[in-house]
């Protein structure tokens, strides 16, 4: 999942970025509204965290502009003011949720997770495709109720595919949503990840959850038992 | 449309134009009237001279009129006297002129029919030609024209001097009126000037309110200014008080944190977890409390429905997963008298609480009876009667609160207090709590 952070306060931006990277998201960060708008318009984001009080261009303007460009990824606003006028202004401009500063980082994770789930049409954080299950909140993967240990990148690949289960996801799209802008796209590292992922979740090759669609990409092909 | 004229300029210009028009019309009509009178007087005089001529006539042998060379009125007998007479018979060639006509270039060639009188002007003289039929002894009528002329010079001089006097009088009164007008204006504008000076004094801090006895017309304005000042003072005091309260209330958690420096890592973390949210809440509460504008005489009239819709649209996003159903029953013409951000704060907190504690349904109603009553209801567990009183208790005691309880209702309480409204908690027909704000 690729997230955009637009926050002018450097220490908070760095802290958020670090914590979200640790959580397995790929992050693009901008220090002002203009840069944030550029990143949000040019790269395929899954979610944006935007501070309302930004230099150059206010967070509200950035949100309005993104929505005008038909960018429909969820937006979480951060505001230092807890009055309703500001919250309502942000939500009316096109944001989906708000968080008042100061906040617990756990609260931010929960909101981000809920928004991502909501945007992919899932109502719970648990994605179950027997015998595979993935909890987006805890970032846990289980096969037949046995936890599977995945690296952060492997988890990201699996989560993205599972959130878009049944759809063919091109390598390009997958790469873009899993890595930030500095990633070298020409390498075949993605294929390596998918290969390792297949071995970890399905060592015997029994249910083959990830299908390779030749020339087009990958598809998560299990059918859901319980899908919100 | 360019610069706005000052009130004084407007009044002076308009009154001057009016004055000029009035004096112009008065002068013109007085002049016309006087001229008419003078002309009529001159004509009467000429007519009376004609009668004098007639009475001076003698009958000749045939019974026709003849006049002597000298007339009873000495002015006819004197050259350049300014009074002239002439008589001519239309058929018998009789012609007589007074001595005064000698040397003058007057031409009496007008012949008028009996019974007619014609006035003409010639060489700055006014002439009256009077037609007469004179029967001779045989009873045969002979037509004569009796003409009298009078010099216009005295008449014109009289008219001129009248005009001069008139101009003097009118000009004089115009001057006096203008002077009076300027003085009246100054007097009339004095309260405005005083008010401006008083406001300046307030700005400079020499005064707190507009205390003078202003004229009725200004009282609405000065009253509003006074209430604005009171309002500003009150909100300044509220800010000052909030700042004091904030500083004061932060001391306890800060003292606890200071003491916690001596503790071990786990204890320190516990203290931080306990005190940081408390500090955050204290700051939020005092900031928001200070921002409440409160009731004001210069409040706006805000349409209630759009504000409620904005908030529910926003909260529908925030509580997306609960899929809360908002049931809004508010007439489009219901208005709230007060500050928009206060209304936003009040409704935001009440509806947010309803979403938080409700399950699926939130109902927002408003009606005027005639004072505005806004109710927010939910289908949650409701509030036990014994807890209601506690929630209504005013004031925020951070030390008595559990963290995470939120400050929403405290802000609502503060707004309700400042609007002198009433907060009522009851059971809703939806099953949960019903919180109503009754304005007065």
**A100 and A132 together in one domain:** no
Look at residue A84 and tell me if it is in a domain.
yes
**A110 and A8, same domain (yes or no):** yes
Structural domain contains residue A225: no
For chain B, the structural domain boundaries read 8-158, 226-291, 300-438
Specify the CATH architecture of the domain B300-438.
Answer: 2-Layer Sandwich (3.30)
One domain, residues A12 and A108? yes
Contact criterion met (CB < 8 Å) for B313 and A96: no
CA-based nearest distance A181→chain B, Å? 30
Residues A131 and A114 in one domain: no
Beta carbons of A84 and B317 less than 8 Å apart: no
With CB atoms and an 8 Å threshold, state whether A88 touches B348: yes
Among A80, A97, A119, where does a domain finish?
A119
Question: pTM surpassing 0.80?
Answer: no
Spans of chain A below 70 pLDDT: 181-187, 224-228
Is there a single domain that holds both residue A106 and residue A190? Answer: no
B283 at A interface, C-beta within 8 A: no
pLDDT at B298: 65
- Supply the pLDDT for residue A38: 95
Indicate yes or no: CB of B314 within 8 angstroms of CB of A91.
yes
pLDDT for position B389: 78
Whether residues A9 and A96 fall in one domain: yes
Does residue A177 share a domain with residue A89?
no
- CB-based contact, B313 to chain A, within 8 Å: yes
pLDDT for residue B397: 53
Chain B residues whose CB is inside 8 A of the A88 CB are: 310-311, 314, 344, 348
| A144 shares its domain with A58 | no
Confidence at residue B166, expressed as pLDDT on a 0 to 100 scale: 93
Is there a domain that residue A227 lies in? Answer: no
Q: A163 lies in a domain?
A: yes
pLDDT for A182: 63
For residue A104, give how far its alpha carbon lies from the nearest alpha carbon of chain B (Å): 10
**Looking at A73, A96, A119, which one is the last position of a domain?**
A119
The shortest C-alpha distance from A105 to chain B (Å) reads 13
Q: Which of A75, A79, A84, A95 to mutate to test the interface with B (most CBs of B within 10 A)?
A: A84
Q: Which residues span the domain enclosing A144?
A: 126-220
Q: Choosing among A79, A82, A228, which should be mutated to test the B contact, i.e. which has the most B CBs within 10 A? A: A82
A226 located within any domain: no
Interface of A with B (CB under 8 A): 82-85, 87-88, 91-92, 95-98, 100, 102, 114, 118, 123
Annotate chain B with three-state secondary structure: CCCCCCHHHHHHHHHHHHHHHHHHHHHHHHHHHHHHHHHHHHHHHHHHHHHHHHHHCEECCCCCEECCCCCCCHHHHCCCCCEEEEEEECCCCCEEECHHHCCCCCCCCCCCCCCCEEEEEECCEEEEEEEEEEECCCCCEEEEEEEEEEECHHHHHHHHHHHHHHHHHHHHHHHHHHHHHHHHHHHHHHHHHHHHHHHHHHHCCCCCCCCCCCCHHHHHHHHHHHHHHHHHHHHHHHHHHHHHHHHHHHHHHHHHHHHHCCCCHHHHHHHHHHHHHHHHHHHHHHHHHHHCCCCCCCCEEEEHHHHHHHHHHHHHHHCHHHCCEEEEEECCCCEEEECHHHHHHHHHHHHHHHHHHCCCEEEEEEEECCCEEEEEEECCCCCCHHHHHHHHCCCCCHHHCCCCCCCHHHHHHHHHHHCCCEEEEEECCCCCEEEEEECC
| Residue B398 confidence (pLDDT) | 47
Residues of A in contact with B345 (CB under 8 A): 83-85
Size of interface A-B (CB pairs under 8 A): 46
Question: What are the angstrom distances between the C-alpha of B393 and each of A218, B343, B409, B425?
Answer: 61, 21, 10, 12
Tens place of pLDDT per residue across chain B (440 aa)? 457 888 888 888 898 899 999 999 999 999 999 999 999 999 999 999 999 888 888 888 888 888 888 888 888 888 888 889 999 988 888 888 888 888 777 888 888 888 898 999 888 889 999 999 888 888 888 899 999 999 898 899 999 999 999 999 999 999 999 899 889 888 988 888 888 888 888 888 888 888 888 888 888 888 888 888 888 888 888 888 888 888 888 888 898 888 888 888 888 888 888 888 888 888 888 888 888 877 776 677 899 999 999 999 999 999 988 889 999 999 999 999 888 889 999 999 999 999 988 899 999 999 998 899 999 999 988 888 888 877 776 555 544 544 445 678 888 988 998 898 999 999 999 999 999 999 98
Mean pLDDT of chain A: 88
Do both A109 and A214 map to the same domain? Answer: no
A43 found inside a domain: yes
Say which of B317, B318, B345 has its CB closest to residue A83: B345
Instruction: Tell me, yes or no, whether A157 and A60 share the same domain.
Output: no
Distance from CA of B337 to the nearest CA of A (A): 17
> In chain B, which residues have their Cβ closer than 8 Å to the Cβ of A96?
317, 320
Last-in-domain residue among A49, A84, A119: A119
Judged by CB atoms closer than 8 Å, whether chains meet at A91 and B288 is answered as no
List Cβ neighbours of A141 (8 Å cut-off, separation of 6 or more): A132, A133, A134, A135, A147, A148, A150, A155, A158, A201
Q: With an 8 Å Cβ cutoff, are A97 and B321 in contact? A: no
Report B:171-200 residues touching A (Cβ under 8 A): none
Question: What domain count does chain A have?
Answer: 2
Pair (A131, A75) in one structural domain? no
CB contact under 8 A, B314 and A96: no
> Considering only alpha carbons, which residue of chain A is nearest residue B279?
A102
Q: Are residues A26 and A113 in the same domain?
A: yes
CA of B211 vs chain A CAs: smallest distance (Å): 37
> Under an 8 A CB cutoff, do A123 and B344 touch?
no
- Determine contact: B58 vs chain A, CB below 8 A: no
Interface test with A, best of B293, B318, B345 (most A CBs within 10 A): B318
Q: Please give the structure tokens belonging to residue B166.
A: 């008139």
pLDDT for the residue numbered B140: 87
């Amino acid at each position: 999942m690729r997230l955009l952070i637009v926050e002018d306060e450097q220490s908070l931006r760095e802290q958020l970025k670090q914590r979200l990277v640790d959580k397995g998201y790929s992050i693009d960060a901008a220090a002002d509204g203009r840069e944030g708008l550029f990143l949000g318009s040019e790269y395929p984001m899954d979610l944006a965290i935007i501070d309302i009080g930004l230099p150059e261009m206010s967070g509200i303007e950035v949100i309005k502009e993104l929505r005008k460009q038909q960018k429909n990824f969820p937006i979480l606003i951060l505001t230092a003011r807890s009055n309703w006028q500001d919250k309502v202004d942000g939500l009316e401009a096109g944001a989906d949720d708000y968080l008042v500063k100061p906040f617990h980082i756990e609260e931010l994770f929960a909101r981000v997770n809920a928004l991502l789930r909501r945007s992919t049409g899932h109502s719970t954080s648990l994605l179950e495709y027997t015998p595979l299950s993935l909890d987006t909140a805890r970032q846990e993967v289980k096969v037949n109720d046995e936890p599977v240990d995945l690296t952060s990148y492997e988890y990201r690949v699996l989560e993205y595919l599972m959130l878009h289960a049944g759809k063919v996801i091109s390598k390009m799209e997958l790469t873009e949503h899993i890595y930030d802008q500095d990633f070298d796209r020409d390498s075949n590292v993605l294929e390596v990840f998918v290969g390792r992922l297949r071995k970890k979740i399905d060592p015997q090759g029994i249910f083959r959850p990830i299908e390779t669609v030749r020339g087009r990409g990958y598809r998560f092909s299990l059918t859901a038992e319980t899908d919100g | 449309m360019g610069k706005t004229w000052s009130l004084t300029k407007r009044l002076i210009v308009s009154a001057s134009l009016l004055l000029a028009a009035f004096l112009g019309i008065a002068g013109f009509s007085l002049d016309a009237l006087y001229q008419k009178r003078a002309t009529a007087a001159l004509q009467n005089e000429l007519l009376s001279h004609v009668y004098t001529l007639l009475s001076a006539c003698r009958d000749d042998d045939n019974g026709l009129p003849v006049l002597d060379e000298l007339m009873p009125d000495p002015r006819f007998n004197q050259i350049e006297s300014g009074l002239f007479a002439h008589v001519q018979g239309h058929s018998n060639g009789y012609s007589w002129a007074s001595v005064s006509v000698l040397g003058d270039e007057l031409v009496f060639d007008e012949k008028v029919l009996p019974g007619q009188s014609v006035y003409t002007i010639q060489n700055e003289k006014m002439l009256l030609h009077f037609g007469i039929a004179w029967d001779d002894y045989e009873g045969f009528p002979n037509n004569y024209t009796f003409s009298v002329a009078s010099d216009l010079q005295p008449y014109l001089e009289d008219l001129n001097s009248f005009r001069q006097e008139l101009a003097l009088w009118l000009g004089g009164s115009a001057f006096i009126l203008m002077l009076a007008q300027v003085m009246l204006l100054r007097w009339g504008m004095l309260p405005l000037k005083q008010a401006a000076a008083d406001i300046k004094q307030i700005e400079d801090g020499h005064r707190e309110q507009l205390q003078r006895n202003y004229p009725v017309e200004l009282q609405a304005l000065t009253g509003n200014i006074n209430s604005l000042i009171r309002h500003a003072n009150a909100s300044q005091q509220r800010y000052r008080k909030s700042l004091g309260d904030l500083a004061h209330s932060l001391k306890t958690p800060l003292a606890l944190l200071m003491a916690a420096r001596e503790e071990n890592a786990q204890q320190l973390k516990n203290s931080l977890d306990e005190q940081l949210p408390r500090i955050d809440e204290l700051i939020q509460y005092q900031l928001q409390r200070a921002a409440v504008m409160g009731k004001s005489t210069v409040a706006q009239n805000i349409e209630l429905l759009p504000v409620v819709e904005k908030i529910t649209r926003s909260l529908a996003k925030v509580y997306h997963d609960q899929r809360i159903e908002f049931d809004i029953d508010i007439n489009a013409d219901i208005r709230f008298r007060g500050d928009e951000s206060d209304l936003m704060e009040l409704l935001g907190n009440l509806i947010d609480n309803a979403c938080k504690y409700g399950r699926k349904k939130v109902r927002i109603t408003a009606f005027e009876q005639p004072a505005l009553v806004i109710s927010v209801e939910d289908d949650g567990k409701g509030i036990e009667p014994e807890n209601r009183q506690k929630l209504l208790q005013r004031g925020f005691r951070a030390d008595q609160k559990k963290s995470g309880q939120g400050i929403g209702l405290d802000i609502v309480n503060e707004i309700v207090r400042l609007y002198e409204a009433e907060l009522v908690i009851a059971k809703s027909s939806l099953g949960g709590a019903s919180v109503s704000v009754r304005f007065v």
